[in-house]
């Protein structure tokens, strides 16, 4: 299947091979969850954990594809009975039809308005302002990503923010080598022929080839025609390192609130040598993230939340607020506490072939056992001070909690909510 040559090549690709491949019937079985745009993250990182979801909320999914972010966001908002207004924008009619069918399968059509068009034509196709914008896997396919991000930034409501995802250059080692080889072998050929050539090349890659050695990317092996085409035959595709991404965000008048997962962008996650860590001490947040990217070498995407420069530093919820309620993201803290070994507890988490071991504080078990999504930090402190650590002062509790929070928030398993 091929689209007419008059179409933009990226639009033609997604008309022929909507990505990622999704079956609306699967909505009865599961909800696809991810980052950005999990509503717990949006609240924590962009609204200080204080967003009142009984108030109207207007959001845009820019380049919504087959609907993963849209469906997740719509379901989360419906679950909170939020009077939300969601807008979906994409160039591909084929992708939009799949997203529409998924939304209808969940009975969420009342929340969503679908638009056909380019992100660069947002002001005409789906004008803002928006409290929140999701732009996941889109900017890196634009002719001018910076122009695209400026358009999105201009559509934000005061106090709003965005969740972004772009490809990471280091984790995609070998992908662009293969793209170059396939342009040599099959440029201009019909789509089916290009897919056949791509599969033949994959079979013939020697063990020393950088793509063959990169176990982090697998759409060419398990993603069907759409996954193979998107990874190795894409018409327009680039990847970023942290400094390039930060520069593009800055040029749009925005700043990074946080990367997801935060611990992966912190050099101290990987290093123990005190001298090395001291040498990194003067670095700012972006410089530390750039160093961590080089150190880890396995970041195949960059997910981040961004806000206007003048509010980015204060947009996220604070881990020293006695009113803040720790919220679990897809884990059971009480069960973790029960399974902890006494002594020097650590949190282990694996990401793209690398297992991180993050130190936990002495009172980790006592604190985790009391996190239930309802108790505030002040209440948890009082409970711990009454039993596990009699007389524990607030400042001493806070020192313990900060270490705990750095670990669990660092792997995106703990967020904060501040009830109104």
The reply to whether 118 and 33 lie within a common domain is: yes
Strands 346-351 and 112-116, bridge-based pairing: unpaired
The reply to whether 196 and 332 lie within a common domain is: no
The pLDDT value recorded for residue 342 is: 65
Q: Is residue 341 domain-resident?
A: yes
The total number of structural domains in the chain stands at 3
Element housing 225 (H / E):
helix 224-232
Question: Average pLDDT for residues 122-127, to the nearest whole number?
Answer: 94
The pLDDT value recorded for residue 215 is: 93
The pLDDT value recorded for residue 343 is: 65
Chain centre distance of CA 135: 10
Q: How many CB atoms lie within 10 A of CB 335?
A: 11
Residue 6 has pLDDT above 80, yes or no: no
CA separation for the pair 251, 126 (Å, rounded): 23
The pLDDT value recorded for residue 355 is: 96
The reply to whether 132 and 176 lie within a common domain is: no
The reply to whether 209 and 82 lie within a common domain is: no
The reply to whether 202 and 293 lie within a common domain is: no
The pLDDT value recorded for residue 222 is: 87
Range of the domain at 15: 9-167+240-312
Q: Is residue 101 domain-resident?
A: yes
Q: Is the dihedral of CA 51, 55, 58, 59 positive or negative?
A: positive
Which are the contacts of 346, defined by CB distance < 8 A and separation ≥ 6? 357, 358, 359, 360
Q: Is residue 1 domain-resident?
A: no
The reply to whether the predicted model has a pTM over 0.85 is: yes
CA separation for the pair 37, 138 (Å, rounded): 15
The reply to whether 354 and 273 lie within a common domain is: no
Residue 87 has pLDDT above 90, yes or no: yes
Whether the link from the prior residue into 248 is cis, omega within 30° of 0, is no
The reply to whether 81 and 218 lie within a common domain is: no
The reply to whether 138 and 104 lie within a common domain is: yes
Of 215, 232, 249, which closes a domain? 232
Q: 177-232 pLDDT, tens per residue?
A: 999 999 999 999 999 999 999 999 999 999 999 999 999 999 888 889 999 999 99
Of 232, 252, 275, which closes a domain? 232
The reply to whether 257 and 294 lie within a common domain is: yes
Buried/exposed 221-240: b ≥16 CB within 10 Å, e otherwise? eebebbbbbbbbbbeebebb
Grouping H, G, I as helix, E, B as strand and the rest as coil, residue 170 is: helix
Q: Is residue 4 domain-resident?
A: no
- pLDDT, the chain, mean: 95
The reply to whether 59 and 179 lie within a common domain is: no
Place 3 in a pLDDT band, splitting at 50, 70 and 90. Answer: very low
Q: Is residue 18 domain-resident?
A: yes
Question: Average pLDDT for residues 231-236, to the nearest whole number?
Answer: 95
What is 165-224 written as a DSSP string?
EEEBTGGGTTHHHHHHHHHHHHTTS-HHHHHHHHHHHHHH--TTSHHHH-TT--HHHHSH
The pLDDT value recorded for residue 251 is: 98
Residue 76 has pLDDT above 90, yes or no: yes
The domain that contains 257 carries what CATH number? 3.40.50.150
Q: Is residue 320 domain-resident?
A: no
The pLDDT value recorded for residue 8 is: 87
Strands 325-328 and 414-417, bridge-based pairing: antiparallel
Which are the contacts of 213, defined by CB distance < 8 A and separation ≥ 6? 174, 207
The reply to whether 275 and 149 lie within a common domain is: yes
Residue 2 has pLDDT above 60, yes or no: no
Residues 163 and 134 sit within 8 Å (Cβ to Cβ): yes
The reply to whether 143 and 176 lie within a common domain is: no
Of 183, 206, 232, which closes a domain? 232
Q: Is residue 247 domain-resident?
A: yes
Q: 131-164 pLDDT, tens per residue?
A: 999 999 999 999 999 999 999 999 999 999 999 9
Q: 255-292 pLDDT, tens per residue?
A: 999 999 999 999 999 999 999 999 999 999 999 999 99
The pLDDT value recorded for residue 4 is: 43
Q: Is residue 200 domain-resident?
A: yes
């Amino acid at each position: 299947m091929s689209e007419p040559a008059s179409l933009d090549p990226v639009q033609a690709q997604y008309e022929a091979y909507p990505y990622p491949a999704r079956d609306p019937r699967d909505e009865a079985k599961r909800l696809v969850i991810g980052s950005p745009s999990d509503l717990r993250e949006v609240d924590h990182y962009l609204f200080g954990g204080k967003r009142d979801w009984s108030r109207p909320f207007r959001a845009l999914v820019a380049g919504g594809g087959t609907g993963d972010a849209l469906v997740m966001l719509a379901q989360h908002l419906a679950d909170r009975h939020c009077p939300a207004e969601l807008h979906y924008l994409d160039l591909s009619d084929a992708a939009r039809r799949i997203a529409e069918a998924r939304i209808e399968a969940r009975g969420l059509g009342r929340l969503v308005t679908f638009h056909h068009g380019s992100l660069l034509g947002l002001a005409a196709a789906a004008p803002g302002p928006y409290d929140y914008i999701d732009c996941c896997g889109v900017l890196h396919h634009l002719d001018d990503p910076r122009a695209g991000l400026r358009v999105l930034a201009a559509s934000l409501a005061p106090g709003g923010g965005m969740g972004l995802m772009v490809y990471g250059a280091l984790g995609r080692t070998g992908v662009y080598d293969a793209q170059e080889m396939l342009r040599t072998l099959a440029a201009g050929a019909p789509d089916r022929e290009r897919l056949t050539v791509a599969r033949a090349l994959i079979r013939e890659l020697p063990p020393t080839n950088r793509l063959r050695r990169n176990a982090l990317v697998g759409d060419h092996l398990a993603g069907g025609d759409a996954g193979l085409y998107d990874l190795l035959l894409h018409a327009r595709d680039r990847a970023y390192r942290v400094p390039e991404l930060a520069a593009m965000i800055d040029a749009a008048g925005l700043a990074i609130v946080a990367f997801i997962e935060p611990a992966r962008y912190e050099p101290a996650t990987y290093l123990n040598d005190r001298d090395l860590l001291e040498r990194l001490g003067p670095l700012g947040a972006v410089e530390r993230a750039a160093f961590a990217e080089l150190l880890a070498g396995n970041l195949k995407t960059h997910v981040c939340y961004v806000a206007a420069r003048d509010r980015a530093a204060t947009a996220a919820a604070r881990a020293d607020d006695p009113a803040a309620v720790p919220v679990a993201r897809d884990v059971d803290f009480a069960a973790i506490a029960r399974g902890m070994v006494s002594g020097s507890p650590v949190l282990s988490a694996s990401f793209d072939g690398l297992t991180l071991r993050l130190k936990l504080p002495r009172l980790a078990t006592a604190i985790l056992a009391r996190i239930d999504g309802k108790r505030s930090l002040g209440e948890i402190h009082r409970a711990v001070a009454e039993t596990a650590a009699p007389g524990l002062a607030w400042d001493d509790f806070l020192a313990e909690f900060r270490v705990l929070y750095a670990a669990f928030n660092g792997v995106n398993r703990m967020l904060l909510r501040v009830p109104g």
